[in-house]
C-alpha cells in the first residue's frame, strides 16, 4: 500500500530555517566566526535546490537526450570548479581545473552509464528521473574523494620535498620517490565512502533510502536501491581518486624527473 506524500509548505521550511538562524546567532555570540558562511551557504543551498527543482520539472516533461547531456555537463563543470577551489595548493593553469574534471568524467560517467544500461535498464536509458539523480549522487561523492586526495598529495609533496628529492638523487624514478604520498592520498580520498558504507543501516540511514521511504516506497525496495547506489558511489569515488592522484603525481615531475613545486599555487592563507 502506497503512503500519501505529505506536502511541505513554505512555513514548514521556514520553521526548519530557524535552526540555521539560531545556530548562526550562537556562532556570533561565541565568536566562532562561522555565522556568515553558515547563512550564505544556507541561502545558496536553498536557491540552488529550488532552481534545480524547476529545471528537473521541465526536464522530466521533455526528457530529450540533448537536454539531459547539457545538464550533466553543467554538473560536471561545476564539480570540477569545486574540486579546484577546495585545494590549499592547486595546480596552476588549466591543470588546476582539468585534473579533477577529467577524473570525474572518466569515473562518474562510466559508472553511471554502467548502472543505467546494465543494472537499472530504464527505457530509454537516459531517462532523466534516473540519470540525473544517479549521476548527481555519484558525482558529488566522487568530487569529495578527489578533493581530499589531491589536497593531501600536493601538501604532502611540499612537506616532504627534501625526502622526495633525496630519493631522486639516489636514483629512484618519480613513481618510487612519491609512492608513499600517492598511496596515502588515495587512502584519504576513499575514507568518506568507506565510513559511509561501514555506518549505513546502523549508525545512519542514508539520504536516498530515507527519501524513498518518506515518499512511500516499501522499505525493502528502498534498501535495494540504496545498496546499489552505495556500491556505485564507492566505485566512482575509488576509481576517480586513483585516476586524479595518479595524474597529479605525474604532473609534479618534469621530463627530467625533477620535482616541480612551482607548478602549484602558493599555499592559501
pLDDT per position as a tens digit, 112-170: 888 888 888 878 888 888 888 889 889 989 999 999 999 999 999 999 999 999 999 99
Domain residue limits at 8:
1-61
Q: Is 146 domain-assigned? A: yes
User: Would 222 be classed as within a structural domain?
Assistant: yes
My answer on whether 39 and 109 are in the same domain is no
Which secondary structure element, helix H or strand E, spans residue 210, and what is its range?
Answer: helix 207-214
What are the tens digits of pLDDT across the range 8-49? Answer: 788 988 999 999 999 999 999 988 888 898 999 999 999 988
233 Cβ partners below 8 Å, 6+ apart? 137, 138, 141, 142, 193, 196
Specify whether 127 is located in the same domain as 154: yes
Q: Are residues 106 and 31 in the same domain?
A: no
DSSP secondary structure code for residue 4 in this structure:
P
Same domain, 197 and 138: yes
Residue 4: how many other CB atoms lie within 10 Å: 6
| Boundary-marking domain end, from 61, 92, 112 | 61
**How would residue 3 be classed by pLDDT, with cut points 50, 70 and 90?**
low
Classify residue 268: in a domain, yes or no: no
What is the domain count for the chain? 2
Angle between helices 128-159 and 179-199 (to 10 degrees): 140
Q: Is 115 exposed, middle or buried (0-12, 13-18, 19+ CB in 10 A)?
A: buried
Claim to verify: residue 97 and residue 47 sit in the same structural domain: no
Around 156, how many Cα atoms within 13 Å sit in the side-chain half-sphere? 20
Same-domain status, 30 and 85: no
| Shared-domain flag, residues 257 and 211 | yes
Q: pTM surpassing 0.75? A: yes
Identify which of 232, 229, 193, 208 has the alpha carbon closest to the alpha carbon of residue 110.
232
**Domain identity same for 134 and 246:** yes
Pick the last residue of a domain from 37, 61, 85.
Answer: 61
139 and 37 inside one domain:
no
Closest CA to 107 of 129, 74, 80: 80
Residue that finishes a domain, picked among 17, 42, 61: 61
Q: Is residue 269 part of a domain?
A: no
Closest CA to 267 of 183, 157, 186: 157
Please state, in angstroms and rounded to a whole number, the distance separating the CA atoms of residues 193 and 241. Answer: 12
Do residue 83 and residue 194 come from a single domain? yes
Q: Average pLDDT, stretch 87-100?
A: 88
Three-class SS state of 264: strand
Residue 47 vs residues 22, 41, 42, 52: alpha-carbon distances, Å:
20, 10, 9, 9
Same domain, 23 and 150: no
Instruction: Verify that 152 and 259 share a domain, yes or no.
Output: yes
The answer to whether position 54 is within a domain reads yes
Per-residue pLDDT at 4? 64
Amino acid at each position: 500500500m502506497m503512503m500519501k506524500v505529505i506536502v511541505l509548505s513554505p512555513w514548514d521550511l521556514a520553521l526548519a530555517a530557524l535552526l540555521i538562524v539560531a545556530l548562526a546567532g550562537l556562532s556570533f555570540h561565541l565568536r566562532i566566526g562561522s555565522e556568515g558562511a553558515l547563512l550564505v551557504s544556507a541561502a545558496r543551498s536553498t536557491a540552488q535546490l529550488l532552481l534545480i527543482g524547476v529545471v528537473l520539472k521541465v526536464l522530466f516533461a521533455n526528457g530529450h537526450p540533448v537536454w539531459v547531456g547539457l545538464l550533466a555537463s553543467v554538473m560536471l563543470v561545476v564539480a570540477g570548479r569545486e574540486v579546484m577551489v577546495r585545494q590549499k595548493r592547486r595546480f596552476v593553469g588549466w591543470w588546476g581545473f582539468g585534473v579533477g574534471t577529467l577524473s570525474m568524467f572518466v569515473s562518474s560517467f562510466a559508472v553511471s552509464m554502467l548502472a543505467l544500461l546494465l543494472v537499472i535498464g530504464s527505457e530509454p536509458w537516459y531517462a532523466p528521473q534516473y540519470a540525473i539523480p544517479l549521476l548527481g549522487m555519484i558525482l558529488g561523492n566522487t568530487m569529495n574523494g578527489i578533493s581530499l586526495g589531491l589536497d593531501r598529495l600536493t601538501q604532502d609533496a611540499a612537506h616532504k620535498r627534501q625526502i622526495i628529492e633525496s630519493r631522486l638523487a639516489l636514483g629512484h624514478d618519480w613513481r618510487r620517490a612519491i609512492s608513499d604520498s600517492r598511496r596515502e592520498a588515495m587512502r584519504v580520498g576513499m575514507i568518506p565512502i568507506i565510513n559511509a558504507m561501514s555506518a549505513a543501516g546502523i549508525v545512519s540511514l542514508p539520504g536516498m533510502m530515507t527519501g524513498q521511504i518518506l515518499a512511500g516506497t516499501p522499505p525493502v525496495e528502498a534498501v535495494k536501491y540504496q545498496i546499489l547506489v552505495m556500491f556505485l558511489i564507492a566505485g566512482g569515488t575509488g576509481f576517480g581518486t586513483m585516476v586524479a592522484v595518479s595524474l597529479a603525481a605525474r604532473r609534479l615531475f618534469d621530463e627530467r624527473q625533477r620535482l616541480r613545486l612551482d607548478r602549484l599555487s602558493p599555499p592559501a592563507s
